[in-house]
Structure 1
Amino acid sequence: MDDADADAFAERVFGAVLGAFETMSIYVGDRLGLYRTLGSGTAWSVEAFAEASGMHVRYAREWLEQQAVAGILRVDDDGRFVLPAAHADVLLDADSLRFTAPLTRMVQAAAARMPELLTAYRDGGGVTWAQFGDDARDAQGDVNRPWFERELAGALAGVPSVGAVLSRRGARIADIGCGHGWSSIAIARACPNAEVIGVDVDEPSLAAARGHAAGTPNVSFVHAAGAALRERGPFDAAFIFEALHDMPDPVAVLAAVRAALRPDGVAIVMDEAVADTFAPDGDEVERVMYGYSLFLCLPDSKATPGSVATGTVMRPDVLAQYARDAGFTGVEVLPIEGFAAFRFYRLV
């Protein structure tokens, strides 16, 4: 054994534990509204913060000091605590592309189901999206919202073959696996002459989507599986945003998409921008996607008997095979870059 290697790995494990504790502390600040109380740039004494936030003063002191030691808060010379503007952008601004505080809810959603996950890992079963609960639903919706609202319409319009379809007067557009509906809403607002239908199997997510869509008359939401899409066509365009890898039978969904599309329609899948092949020296995108897969996406998919169990790390060749099995000839990667950690595919 190389002592230096062992010491380095021990330090890495310690760092992972430290990161886990700090993730939990950010979750507390997010879910209890503590960052909203702090605001950006305002200095707070422990007592004033406790009163304003409704937090017990002893816990307030411990949390504030922990946040300061973690480098999340700044402490002024007079001992008051401040949330720097740059950190507020990440933790507080729901419209910012840097808004990543919701990701801590994903971690908490998985941790809360650890007993069920351990059982699933042994018996091959799963844990449903409903079991992961509101933390997972809200995290998925909130972290993708700024990207969908600010970047999605422009990214799609920037691909001429896609933009031309979306700009058709009276176009019918399907968004399968729409979740909280932000992708559907973004497309509907960018294409006011189109009809957008969001489809999902999770009713609580659809209830949230309907609330978000108030004031956007050309979008509606349907509680249905993606395979039911063929009964609701024809469509000019069909999208699946970061959802195909969760589906127990992706081929059936893609076949339904193909059947529901007009001959000159477009089918787009946006999914994780993972590497083409597995390698043990994967980058941070690979590492985080395997985390999502192990603790959330794969167990959710495995909760349905007969699932193909894709997992979050869906390689391009896997998607291409699904597309061919569904009757398409394959996929092409669209020239959309810098859209978070996602890749856009057109099914051809």
Structure 2
Amino acid sequence: MSEARNEENGSAGTAAYVDRIVAAALGFAEMASIALGDRLGWYRALAGAGDAGLTPDELAQRSNTQPRYAKEWLEQQAVAGLLTAVLDAEPLGGPSYRFALPAGAAAVLVDEDSLEYTAPVARMLVTAVGHFPDLLQAYRDGGGVAWSELGDDGRESQAELNKPWFDQRLGAALAASAELHAILSRPGARIMDVGAGFGWSTLALADAYPGAEVVGVDIDEPSIRRARENAGERGSSGRVSFALADAGDMAAPGSCDAVFIFEALHDMPFPVRVLSAIRNFIKPDGAVVVMDEAVADTFAPAGDEVERLMYGYSLLVCLPDSLSTPGSVGTGTPMRQATLERYAVEAGFSRVERLPIEDFSVFRFYRLHV
């Protein structure tokens, strides 16, 4: 009886594990289909059609794509529950349908100003998987896949995910800390944004604190070029500046009132070196703020969705990027508070404070005290 029961339990466990893998396969395939719809402009075309929806031929015509592919994608999206399908006609060749975005979907898939805009997640992950042979080689020999190798799809998806949060929530989030807000509000305050990317965080800082001098710094030339373009389009070129440089070469000792690192420290191959440079040029009464992933304080099996997503990013993007530099410490995306505290102390800071900023996407804010 005991052997039979164990066999039955094992069979049930195997079936459950198969279900888990099938569910993951469905998620992977549907994520790739979302990336297709995003990059081909199909979701935007559907959003433009409103409740009336589009036929495959209409979608193909509006997006300059092929009707047969459009038909297959529309049907797949409807089967997956990502689109609605309404019977349009029943010609001799069989029924035809019109397809539309359901209520609320445009905010997630199309509206780049929406806090719920998450289509770039699909683009980022599919772009990373496109480098699968390089990832395999890196995992074998200890090398990596640099951020620059992901190209514009990687850069743009990262920037688009964070932009609405910076635009709409950053100023209020920083004002939640009275002491930090006072520092940033100093007349003529000098603020540096390290790892500025496309500059959305830099521009948000300048909007929130118009009396400050704000400079964004990054080592990625295409990102800095786009940041300057974004500043020009917003009419902010006179209030902010962007530099293609290592932050450690950008400031004299004791010259900055505040320094920010937004979702970038865990990618850096030598975080202590960066923090040591910042420790040198921050004023004694200044503020250093690191925004990074809101992961659990310690590793534990069966983590929540944030933990699972960050490990996914780490496997495919962040850790390979960091390890593409020889000698990197290889932090990885799930940078826990204890790790940040260790880096900060090694760099000469006295302590790390978790700031009272909640519900800011999947991020957490820390202040490093001199």
Normalising TM by the smaller chain, what interval?
Answer: over 0.9
1:190 is aligned, of 175, 187, 208, to 208
Inter-partner Cα distance in structure 1 for 2:211 and 2:244: 23
Mapped contact 2:254–2:284 kept (Cα < 8 A): no
Please say which of residues 223-232 and 115-124 is displaced more in the overlay. Answer: 223-232
Q: What's the offset of the Cα at 1:106? A: 1.0
Task: Confirm or deny that 1:344 pairs with 2:344.
Answer: no
Among residues 75, 79, 82, which one is paired with 1:65 in the alignment? Answer: 75
Q: Which moved more, 1:80-89 or 1:337-346?
A: 80-89
SS at match of 1:71: coil
Give distance in 2, aligned partners of 1:25 and 1:238: 39
Measure the CA separation in 1 of the matches of 2:194 and 2:211: 20
Q: In the alignment, what sits opposite 1:44? A: 54
Q: 2:161 aligns with which of 127, 140, 143?
A: 143
1:312 aligns with 2:333: yes
Q: What amino acid maps onto 2:333 in structure 1?
A: T
Of 3, 9, 14, the residue aligned with 1:6 is: 14
Deviation by residue 1:262-290 (Cα, 9 ceiling, x = unmatched): 11110000000111111112111111111
In the TM superposition, what whole-angstrom CA distance separates every residue of 1:40-95 from its partner, at most 9, and x where no partner exists? Answer: 43321222222111111111111111111111111124221111230111000000
Q: For the residues of structure 2 that align with 1:310 and 1:103, how far apart are their CA atoms?
A: 21
Q: Could you say if the C-alpha distance between residues 233 and 53 of structure 1 is closer, same or farther in structure 2, counting changes exceeding 3 Å?
A: farther
2:312 aligned residue: 291
Greater Cα shift, 168-177 or 205-214:
205-214
Cα deviations by residue, 1:200-256 (Å, 9 ceiling, x for unpaired)? 111111111111111112111111123334448611100000000000110111111
The answer to whether the 8 A contact 1:247-1:301 is kept is: yes
- Tell me if the contact between 1:229 and 1:260 (Cα under 8 Å) persists in the aligned partners: no
Distance in 1 (CA, whole Å) between partners of 2:254 and 2:207 is 21
User: Equivalent residue for 2:139?
Assistant: 121
TM-score, length of structure 1 as denominator length:
0.97
Of residues 323-332 and 68-77 in structure 1, the stretch that sits farther from structure 2 once superposed is: 68-77
* Residue 204, structure 1, aligned to residue 222, structure 2: yes
Q: SS where residue 51 of structure 2 aligns?
A: coil
One-letter amino acid of the counterpart of residue 82, structure 2: I
Aligned CA distance change for structure 1 residues 233 and 30 (closer, same or farther; 3 Å): farther
1:42 alignment partner AA:
A
Is 1:323 aligned to residue 344 of structure 2?
Answer: yes
- Cα displacement string for residues 17-59 of structure 1 (whole angstroms, at most 9, x for unaligned residues): 1111111111011111111111143321222222111111111
Q: Could you tell me whether the CA contact under 8 Å between 2:144 and 2:324 is conserved in 1?
A: yes
Q: Secondary structure of 1:90's match?
A: helix
- Secondary structure of the corresponding residue to residue 97 of structure 1: coil
- Unpaired runs of 5+ residues, structure 1, are none
Residue 271 (structure 2) aligns with: 250
Q: Secondary structure at the match of 1:80?
A: strand
Is the 8 Å Cα contact of residues 272 and 342 (structure 1) preserved in structure 2?
yes
Determine the C-alpha separation between the residues in 2 that align with 1:281 and 1:61.
39
Distance of 1:102 and 1:274 partners within structure 2: 20
SS of 2:353's equivalent in the other structure is strand
CA distance in 2 between partners of 1:340 and 1:294 (Å): 21
Three-state SS of the structure 2 residue aligned to 1:198 is strand
Instruction: State the SS of the aligned residue for 2:119.
Output: coil
* Distance in 2 of aligned mates of 1:42 and 1:325: 60
Q: Cα RMSD (Å) of the superposition? A: 1.2
**Which residue, 162, 165, 169 being the options, matches 2:183?**
165
Residue 158 of structure 1: how far off its partner (Å): 1.5
The answer to whether the 8 A contact 2:318-2:333 is kept is: yes
For residue 266 of structure 1, the aligned residue among 281, 284, 287 is 287
TM value normalised by structure 2: 0.92
Equivalent residue number for residue 197 of structure 2? 179
Distance of 2:64 and 2:251 partners within structure 1 = 51
Q: Which residue does the alignment assign to 2:258?
A: 237
Task: Give me the whole-angstrom Cα distance separating, in 2, the residues matched to 1:229 and 1:333.
Answer: 27
